[in-house]
Amino acid sequence: TSLALAFVLSGGSQIAMGDWPTEPASPLFVGPINNAFDERAGIRSGADGSIWFAWQEAYCQGDLLLQRVGIDAELLAPMGLTIQDDPTCGFHLEPAMAVIGESIVVSRTRSSLLDTPVQRYSQQGSALWTPAFSVDEVLVLETLAAMDNGDTLIISQGWDTIYVDRIDPQGEQVWAEQLSFPVPGGANFDVVRFVPDDVGGGYLFWEDPATYIRHMHAMRITSDGQTAWASTVPIVDVQLPQRGTSRHTHSEMVSDGHGGAIIVYTEGFEQGTSPAAMYMQRIMPDGALAFPMPGIHVSTDFDRQFHVDLERDPVSNDVLITWLNGFFDGVEVRAQRMTITGDRLWGDEGVEIRP
């Protein structure tokens, strides 16, 4: 199964370590994957130009594997490094990963922090936290986030509550107490992203399902482990005319470069070949939304718009958005450039990248 231009996970043979392949038919072998229809590998870039991979070896029971590919194609281990056993069957999720300098913090998404500690690994594969991070209660890992000063946020769920721990590079707690706050939608939710706010804290975004659609909420946390707002902030509602977010694709968030965050999502309620528009929203440091719900159209084409990728230009602060546009045989790759104030710079429908 292809992961990227020069990397694959497969059952095939490996090339010699230290050699970049020159033929597309013989890509670099990163490691094995068995009995899976969707690899869901996590891929992160390192500060030294390396690439980190983490993936569940099998759809039903196996191991969580870690691989690092150096700039000269050297591998951490020929078949990947086994870092956790995976007793689950049916959970085939992208692992939680956070790159800290030349090291990485990694664990299975939705694993129990009581039974499956979170560990930080060096570029040689050595465990750096002694002991690894764990808790004394049943909490489920949602995601990890790297902070600019080298700390790691470990974000977990316990029933209808989000928990956040801040861990320093040596594996010690930074905050005197674990941060926790309730979510309004009950226990069925997924943390989508953490976006730093440039002053040591940041924004947590999560989605919880309604009937065929999803709510989206946010909370800002401070550098000293407090919630910055009195209550969670809804990014999009599910009450008409707002249609929630789509259950068939993901949402994306990035910093706006001014202490807030940009959100791009596909609206819900789509059925069959009905249109599903994509919107941009911006949340400010005080929790206010820059645009009335549901936000600003990324494209006025109003076709089915899915699988967004989002980046911010650090010079202009414009956001660069790419997505799949259309349905089945008519799908094309399109792109849009928008200012953080909501102006579409590449025309009302964006530009076609690939038909």
Per-residue b/e over 135-173, b at no fewer than 16 CB within 10 Å? beeebbbbbbbbbeeebbbbbbbeeeebbbbbbebebee
Tens of pLDDT, residue by residue, the chain (355 residues): 433 334 555 444 444 445 788 888 888 989 888 766 555 789 999 988 999 999 988 878 889 999 999 999 999 999 999 999 988 887 678 899 999 999 999 999 999 999 999 999 999 999 999 999 999 998 999 999 999 999 999 999 999 999 999 999 999 999 999 999 999 888 889 999 999 998 999 999 999 987 778 899 999 999 999 999 999 999 997 776 667 888 888 899 999 999 999 999 998 866 666 788 999 999 999 999 999 999 999 999 878 899 999 999 999 999 999 999 987 778 899 999 999 999 999 999 999 997 6
For residue 250, the 8-state DSSP code is: -
Cα 161 to Cα 183: distance, rounded to the nearest angstrom: 6
CA-nearest of 20, 34, 23, 29 to 2 is 29
CA-nearest of 270, 272, 271, 253 to 261 is 253
Cα 156 to Cα 159: distance, rounded to the nearest angstrom: 10
The widest CA-to-CA distance across the chain, in whole angstroms, is 58
- First vs last C-alpha separation in the chain: 24
Cα 167 to Cα 274: distance, rounded to the nearest angstrom: 45
Instruction: Determine if the pTM surpasses 0.85.
Output: yes
Which residues, in sequence order, are bridge partners of residue 275?
Answer: none
Close Cβ partners of 147 (under 8 Å, ≥ 6 residues apart): 153, 166, 196, 200
Cα 115 to Cα 229: distance, rounded to the nearest angstrom: 32
Amino acid at 159: W
pLDDT value for 5: 33
Which residues, in sequence order, are bridge partners of residue 283?
Answer: 261, 289
Angle at 189 (CA atoms; ends 183, 192), nearest 5 degrees:
100
For residue 160, the 8-state DSSP code is: T
Backbone angles phi, psi at 171, to 5 degrees: 90, 15
Amino acid at 91: F
pLDDT value for 58: 83
Report CA Rg, the chain: 21
Number of Cβ within 10 Å of residue 109's Cβ equals 22
